[in-house]
Structure 1
Amino acid sequence: MPNDAQSYSQTYPDAEGYFGQFGGSHYPHEVQPALDELAKAYQELRDSPDFQHELTRVRTTFQGRATPVHHLKTISSQLGGAQIFVKREDLNHTGAHKINHCVGFALLAKKLGKTKLIAETGAGQHGVALATAAAYFGLDCEVHMGEVDIAKQSSNVGRMRLLGARVVPASTGQSALKEASDSAFAAYVQQHAHALYAIGSAIGPHPFPLIVRDFQAVVGQEARAQFLDLTGGSSLPEHVVACVAGGSNALGMFSSFLGDEGVTLHAVEPRGRSEELGQHAATLSYGRPGTLHGARSIVLQEGDGTTANVSSVASGLVYPGIGPEIAMLHESGRISVAAIPDEEVISAFFRMAKDEGIIPALESAHALAFAFHLAAKRPSSERILVNLSGRGDKDVDYVLENYGTGQ
C-alpha cells in the first residue's frame, strides 16, 4: 500500500473500480453506460483546476468550511488519560459531513448536464444536505427514506420538503436504510438519462465509492493540517477515530493518515442491542464477503446468504454492508475495528451535552464512546482525534422520548 495520501488515492481503486478483491460494478446492464460516462467525466473533472476552484468556493462561502479541531478539555481531564480532540464536522451547513459530497455531486451534475439528483437517506442528514445542495444549484431532488426513519426523523423530513425535495417512502423489509437504498437505486435505473445518483456513502458500484472518498477527503486534509498547527508542526495524533457503516466520514478522516505508521485508525461500528444477528449492524465484526448494492464487499448475511436484518440506535448506521474501500483497509489490517452497544452510545450522547456543551449525532456518539474508553486506557501524552461527523438536533426528540434527559 502506498505510504502517502496522493499515491494511495491514485492507486485505489484500480481501473475496474476494485479495492483489492472488493468493489467493482455489479449493476444492471442497462445502466452501465451511464456509470461509464460518469466515471470518465469524473476522472477529467477530478484534475480540473476550474472544477476544484468552484468546489472550494462553494464550500467556503456557502457550506462554511474549514471546520475546526476542538479539544475536549473537560472529558479528557475527567478520564485522566489521553487527550481527546474532535473535528467539528457538526458545524457544517446542514449539520454534518454529508454536505461535503452533496455539493460535489450537485456541481458534477451541472457539469454533466443533469437536471435532477436522486439519493437515499437514513437519519436524514444526507437527504437534507442533498436537498440543500440541489436548491443552491437549481436542481430537482428526490430522496428515498425508510418509513421507520421518516417517523423517527420527522424534523429532517420537514427540512427536506421545505428545501423543495420530494421524499419517497420505502416500505419493504425493515423500511430502513437498506430499503431506501434499494428504492433509490431502482429510481436511478429508470431516470439515469436526466438524473445523477448522489449516493449517500462510499458504497455502490464504481465510480461512486471513489467519488465520495475524494469529496470527503477535505475532512482529513484539514484535520491533519490543523493538528500539526496545534502542535507546532511537530506531531500527529496517535489515534484517529470515526464511526462507520458505509464509510463516508471514516474515509474522509482516514484518507490523510493512511501512510502514517504511527497513527492507529479506529473504525467504530454499531453493536446495537446484542451480538445476535439481526440485533446489530457490526458488519466488519460479524460479516463475510458478498455483494450488496452493486459492489462486492463485506455483508451481514443469514446462513443461506440472504442479507440479514440490522439494528442500531443511530438510523444512519442501520446498514448491513460496508464500503468496499473500508473492507480492503480492514482486510489489510490498516484499520482497527470496535463495536459499541446502544447503551454506551446514549451515555456518550448525554456526556457530551452536559460536560462539553455539544450535542452529537447518535452516529458520531459511537466514535466518541469508543474514544472515551480508549482515552482512559492510554497515557496522557497521547492524543486521540475523533471525527464528530454530525450534530444531534435530529436525535433530540427520539432520545428525550426514549431515554429522558439523562439526569
Structure 2
Amino acid sequence: MRLGSEDDFATEAPPLSHALGSLRAGSAERDATMLMDAQGPDMTQVLRWRGVASLPQRPGILGDLRYVFTAVRGMAATRRRLADIRGRLETQREARARLVLALARAAVADAAVTAEVVVETRARVAEIEAARDRHALDGAAARAVLADLIEAQETAELAAAAEIAQIEEEVAEVQATLVPFEVAEEDLRRHARAVQATVKRQDRRIRGLEKKLAQSNPEQAGALQAELAAARAEREGEVQKTPQIEAARDELAPQMDELRVRLNELDSELAAAEERAKAAAAGGDEVAEARARCEQAEEAGQRAIVEIRERLAGLGEELCLSRPENASLAPHLAAIDRCDSSIGALERNTIEGRHVLQAIDRGAVLRGSLLLAALALALAALGWLALGLL
C-alpha cells in the first residue's frame, strides 16, 4: 500500500506488505516532518481588523467631505486584505487536506488502530493497490508490445521508402533511355511529312506540265517532255524515300515498345510501394490495439489513485470526528486542530472585512462627492471671473 509520502499517488510503489513495514519503521520521522511542514501558521500572523469593523466617520459637511477619502482608502485597503486572506485560506485548506491524508495513511499503516472504519478502509485500499499493480503490469506489457510494433513499423517505413526511391531511380533511367528514341522517331515523322508534301507538289507540277504538253505546239513539245520526265524522276525519288523511313521506324518500334512497357510496370510497382508505405505509416490495427491497451491500463491506474485518495480523505475526516485514542494519531490530530483554528480565524477575518465594505455609508459618500463637485465648479467659476477681470 503506497501511503508513506506526499507524492505517493504520482509514482509506482512496492506492494502492501513492503509499504506497511517501511511505514512502521520510519513513522516517527515522517510524522515529525509532515507535522512541521503542514501545520497552520502562527496565530499572531493572522490579520486583525481595527476595533469596530467599520470606517471612522465625523458628522457635518466637513465630515462628509473627509469621509469620501476615508471610504476610498478604506475600501482599497480592505480589498487588499481580503485578497491576502483568500490566499492564506487556500494555503491552509490545502495544508489541511494533506494533514487529513497523512492521518488516514498513518491509521491504515498502524496495525494497532483497529477501528471498524479503518479496518474496512485498509482492506479496500489493499484490494485497490493489488488491482493497480495488475494494471501496471498490463500497462508495462502493452508498452513493450507497442514498442516492438512501432519498431517494426519504422522498419517497414524505411524499407518502403527505400523501395520507392529505387523504383523512382529506375523510372528516371528508363525515361532517359527512351528520350533519344522518341527524338529519332519524331525526326522520322517530320521527314515522312516532308516527303509527302514534296510528292504532292511534284504531282501538281506533273499535272500542270501534262496539261501544257497537250496544248503545246511541236516546237515546245520537246522541252515540255524533257521537263515532265525530270519531274517524274524527282517524284519517283521522293516516293522511294518512304519505304526507307518506314523501315527505320519499324527498327525503332520494338525497342521503344519495350521501354514503354517497362515504364508502365514501374508505375504499377511505384503505386503499390506507395500504398505499402501508407499502410506502414498508419501502423495497422495491431498498433492501435496496443495503444488502446496502454491507455486503458493508464486510465485504470489513475482511477485507482483517485479512489484511494477519496477513501483516505473520507477516512481522515471520520477520524477527525471520532478522534480515536491512539498515540500514533495524536500528533496528526493536533496538527489538524491547529490548522482548523487558523482557518476559523481567517474566515472570521473575511466576515469582518466584508462587514467593513457593507457598512460604508453610501449616502455620506454621495453627499461628500456632490460637495466636492460643487467646490470644484465654484473654484472654476472664480478662476474664470478672475481671468475676465484681468
Is TM-score (shorter-chain normalized) higher than 0.5?
no
| Greater Rg over alpha carbons, structure | 2
Q: Would you tell me which structure has more helix in proportion to its own residues? A: 2
Q: Would you tell me which structure has more strand in proportion to its own residues? A: 1
Between the two structures, name the one with larger relative contact order (CA 8 Å, sep ≥ 6): 2
Short-chain TM bin: under 0.3
